[in-house]
Structure 1
């Protein structure tokens, strides 16, 4: 391998690694994927990825050429459209369909690609997803409607955060603060006895880091200690910021509009839960920027995860139904990876959103601080811990039963 070829290859691997990190790839999957790429080009490699750093070391057989690079990165956000296109591009390169120079050019084009759904559809997806989550939490129709409206307000804050660094640093507390204050105002002027904490939780569910907690524990189980610890602690800090903002907003709301009793929502028919799963899956399509050809798979994954978890909960107690749901989801996602030749993450993430216990962690935090229960539940802390462990174990078992062909 001559010097020029080595430089071209390491530039491509470096750009590929930074893009996959930007699109929210878990560290253990990112490192394994980049190792496969480097091995294909005849290079030895060592990669170290965390949510905030990416270190790459490359060398040839006899160390004629060596290269190392360490970069400070921002935590990535899930972008299934770019992730899928990047994986397809890497596959075309490895199969000899395109040259290295052409692949490098197309990587730049993918990185500059906007969301295929635009801002308006994404805003509607926020409203749809928050209303759907309220359905799954057993809210009444009033809470469902108001959750959707406040969810759109949260989306406006996220748009502002993209334009302002100061807002991005305080996105979680300021968004939850305004949601808490407006929820108190709605409850006061509507005089309908709403469960304001349930509305707040549903409105903020897109920002609640339940998925980050699960990914962090999955990284810890794969012995990515640094990355897993960082991700878990970052998720905990996001959760604290969200709750503090909401608690401050509600406290101010009580001062302005008077103390309000926490009302329990009227029970809706069970079929509303299935409608909520469908609405949530459709909303996540735009939020995760899923490509149209993968949309049916992504929607199906949410139904598989929810139905398996709900069915098994009938005879498994203490949240262990999440193990069955995660196992079924993992098998389906790996099957998708084999059939569609695409990363299993594309369909696994929407299904995990239905199962992750971030909402239960938030509920437990509220019960501990305020002494009020958002919903009637016992042993919330124990159940949250068991769900987290069950999710990780279910995905590990699924990878044994149905191994994936791709590292991503």
Structure 2
């Protein structure tokens, strides 16, 4: 391998690694995937990935050339469309269908691509996901409507945060604060007796870091200690900021508009639970920027995860039911990889969100601080830990039973 070829290879690997990090790829998957690519390209490499940094060490077979690159990066956001296209590009390169120069140019095009769905559809997805989550939590029809409207307000704050660095730094607590104040105003003037804490939780559910906590624990279980610890701590800080903003907003709202006396509404019919899973998954397609050709797989993953959990919960504890759901989800996601030749992450994320570990954590934090439960949840603190461990264990067992063909 001559020096010019080595330089071209390591430039491509560095760009590929930064893009996969940007799209929210967990450390253990990112490092394994880059190692596979480097091996196919005929170089040796070692990688260290954390949520805020990425280090590359690349060398040729006999150490004629050696290269080290360290980059300080922002934590990535999930972008299933870009992840899918990047994986297809890497597969074409390794199959000899693309040259390195063509692949490098295509990577730049993918990185510059806007969202598939635009601002209007994504905003509607925010409102739909918050309303669907409220439905999943057993809210009444008016509470579902208010949750959806406040979800649209949360999306407006998200758009503002893209233009303002100060708003971006305070996005979670500010969004939760205004959701709390507006929920109190709705209770005072429009709909007395609503479940304010549940509406506030539903309106900010997109920001609740249940998925990040699960990913962090998965990284810890794979012995990625630095990345896993950093991701877990970052998720916990997000959770604390959300709760403080909601607590402050409700307190200010009560002082301005008066206390709210919650009056439980009539329970929704059983079919509403399955409708909420369907609507939540549809909304996540736009929020995660999933390609339309993967929509049936994403829908199937959500229903498989939820139905397996619901069925097993009749015979096991709820936390262990999450293990069965995660196991079924993992097997399905790995089967998706074998059939479609795409990263399992594309469909696995939809199923994990439906298992709602993040809301359990938020409810547990509310119970710990205030001593009050706003939904029926006995022993929620124990369930939070058991659910997270069950999710990670279920995915690990699924990888043993149905090994994935791809590192992603």
Structure 1 residue runs of 5 or longer lacking an equivalent are none
Residues in 1 aligned to 2:171 and 2:140: alpha-carbon distance in whole angstroms: 28
Does the aligned pair in 1 maintain the 2:22–2:76 contact within 8 Å? yes
Superposed displacement of residue 61, structure 1: 1.5
Does the aligned pair in 1 maintain the 2:134–2:144 contact within 8 Å? yes
SS state at 2:162 partner: helix
Aligned to 2:105: 105
Does the aligned pair in 1 maintain the 2:336–2:342 contact within 8 Å? yes
- Structure 1 runs, 4 residues or longer, greater than 2 Å off: 261-266
1:371 matches 2:379 = no
Does the aligned pair in 1 maintain the 2:186–2:192 contact within 8 Å? no
Residues in 2 aligned to 1:263 and 1:16: alpha-carbon distance in whole angstroms: 54
Superposed displacement of residue 264, structure 1: 3.1
Aligned to 2:205: 205
Cα deviations across residues 317-352 of structure 1 (Å, max 9, x unaligned)? Answer: 142100000000000000000000000000000000
Aligned to 2:152: 152
SS state at 1:320 partner: helix
Aligned to 2:332: 332
SS state at 1:237 partner: helix
SS state at 1:24 partner: coil
Matched length:
408
SS state at 1:319 partner: helix
1:276-291 matches, within 5 Å, as: 276-291=276-291
Aligned to 1:396: 396
Aligned to 2:301: 301
Aligned to 1:188: 188
Residues in 1 aligned to 2:173 and 2:400: alpha-carbon distance in whole angstroms: 40
Residues in 1 aligned to 2:55 and 2:98: alpha-carbon distance in whole angstroms: 27
SS state at 1:123 partner: helix
Aligned to 1:253: 253
Residues in 2 aligned to 1:366 and 1:47: alpha-carbon distance in whole angstroms: 39
Residues in 1 aligned to 2:265 and 2:364: alpha-carbon distance in whole angstroms: 19
SS state at 1:55 partner: strand
Aligned to 2:82: 82
Residues in 1 aligned to 2:170 and 2:119: alpha-carbon distance in whole angstroms: 21
1:112-261 matches, within 5 Å, as: 112-261=112-261
RMSD: 0.8
Cα deviations across residues 94-118 of structure 1 (Å, max 9, x unaligned)? Answer: 0000100000000000000000100
Superposed displacement of residue 64, structure 1: 0.6
Aligned to 2:19: 19
Residues in 1 aligned to 2:307 and 2:373: alpha-carbon distance in whole angstroms: 26
Aligned to 2:50: 50
Structure 2 residue runs of 5 or longer lacking an equivalent are none
Aligned to 1:6: 6
Aligned to 1:312: 312
Does the aligned pair in 2 maintain the 1:214–1:356 contact within 8 Å? no
SS state at 2:55 partner: strand
Residues in 2 aligned to 1:37 and 1:92: alpha-carbon distance in whole angstroms: 12
Q: Calculate the TM-score normalised by the size of structure 1.
A: 0.99
Does the aligned pair in 2 maintain the 1:201–1:359 contact within 8 Å? yes
Does the aligned pair in 2 maintain the 1:281–1:299 contact within 8 Å? yes
Superposed displacement of residue 62, structure 1: 1.4
Residues in 2 aligned to 1:351 and 1:162: alpha-carbon distance in whole angstroms: 28
**Cα distance, 1:80–1:4 mapped onto 2, change above 3 Å:** same
Q: Which range moved further: 218-227 or 314-323?
A: 314-323
